[in-house]
C-alpha cells in the first residue's frame, strides 16, 4: 500500500469510530510507518515495548524520533518484574527460555493493550520472514482486534528510498553494523551473508518474539 491508500484506510477506520494504535521497535526501517502516521494523524498512540533489555541507544532514539515527528508515544512496561523472570537455576529467562522471556516482556503487555483498541497498525513486511510472508493486509487478532499491515508489500529498497526522500534519521547502531535491532542480549551484528533478521536470537530455534505469532489469528 502506498501513502494515499494508507491514509484512506486510516480515515475509513476513524470514520467508523475505530480506536487505533501502533507499536514500534524504532529501528531505522520502522520509521517509515511512523513518519506516514505523523503525516496522517499525530494523535494515534505509539507504544514502545520497554522490555528493560533494549540497547540504551534504542531507548534514547525512540524519544528522539517521537519528539522530531510529534508522535503520541507511550512506553509499555512488562507486568512481571525482572527479579521474577528467572528459571529454576536462577538464570534470567533470556538465557534458558527466550520464548517465555518474550512472552513476559512483549506478548503479555501487548495483549493487554489489544483489549483497549479495535485496530492494531503493524509495520511488518512480507520480505522479512516466512511467518510474515503468510500475513494479509487485514488480519484478525485476539479480543476482536483487526491487525492492519500497511507496509506488507513494501520492499527494503522502497523503505530506504522513502528514508532518503524524507531525510529520516538512522538508528545509531546502524553505523556499527547492526541490521535488525531488538533486545540487547538477543541481538548480534549479522555476518555478511545473513538476511535482515537472522542475527536475532542467533543460534536458537527462534525467529519471532510472539507478537506476530501468538497475537494473530490465521
Residue found by looking up cell 506478548 in the block: 107
* C-alpha distances out from residue 147 to 7, 142, 189, Å: 16, 10, 30
- Exposed, middle or buried: residue 4 (CB in 10 Å: 0-12, 13-18, 19+)? exposed
Considering the candidates 102, 183, 186, 209, report the single residue annotated as catalytic: 209
Q: How far apart are CA 137 and CA 177, in angstroms?
A: 31
Q: What angle do CA 74, 160, 207 make, to 5 degrees?
A: 65
Q: How far apart are CA 170 and CA 163, in angstroms?
A: 9
Q: Is 183 among the residues known to form the active site?
A: no
Query: Which residues are catalytic, by number?
Result: 209
Amino acid at each position: 500500500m502506498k501513502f494515499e491508500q494508507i491514509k484512506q484506510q486510516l480515515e475509513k477506520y476513524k470514520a467508523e469510530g475505530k480506536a487505533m494504535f501502533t507499536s514500534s521497535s524504532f529501528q531505522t526501517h520502522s520509521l517509515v510507518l511512523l513518519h506516514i502516521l505523523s503525516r496522517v494523524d499525530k494523535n494515534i498512540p505509539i507504544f514502545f515495548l520497554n522490555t528493560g533489555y533494549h540497547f540504551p541507544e534504542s531507548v534514547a532514539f525512540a524519544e528522539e524520533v517521537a519528539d522530531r515527528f510529534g508522535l503520541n508515544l507511550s512506553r509499555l512496561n512488562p507486568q512481571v518484574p525482572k527479579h521474577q523472570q528467572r528459571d529454576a537455576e536462577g538464570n534470567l529467562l533470556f538465557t534458558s527460555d527466550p520464548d517465555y522471556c518474550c512472552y513476559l516482556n512483549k506478548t503479555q503487555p501487548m495483549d493487554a493493550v489489544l483489549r483497549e483498541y479495535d485496530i492494531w497498525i503493524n509495520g511488518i513486511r512480507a520480505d522479512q520472514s516466512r511467518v510474515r510472508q503468510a500475513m494479509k493486509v487485514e488480519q484478525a487478532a485476539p479480543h476482536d482486534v483487526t491487525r492492519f499491515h500497511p507496509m506488507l508489500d513494501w520492499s527494503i529498497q522502497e523503505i530506504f528510498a522513502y528514508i532518503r526522500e524524507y531525510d529520516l534519521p538512522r538508528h545509531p547502531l546502524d553505523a556499527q553494523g547492526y541490521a535488525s535491532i531488538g533486545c540487547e542480549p538477543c541481538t548480534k551484528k549479522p555476518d555478511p551473508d545473513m538476511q535482515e533478521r537472522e542475527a536475532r536470537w542467533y543460534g536458537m530455534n527462534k525467529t519471532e518474539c510472539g507478537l506476530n505469532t501468538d497475537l494473530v489469528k490465521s
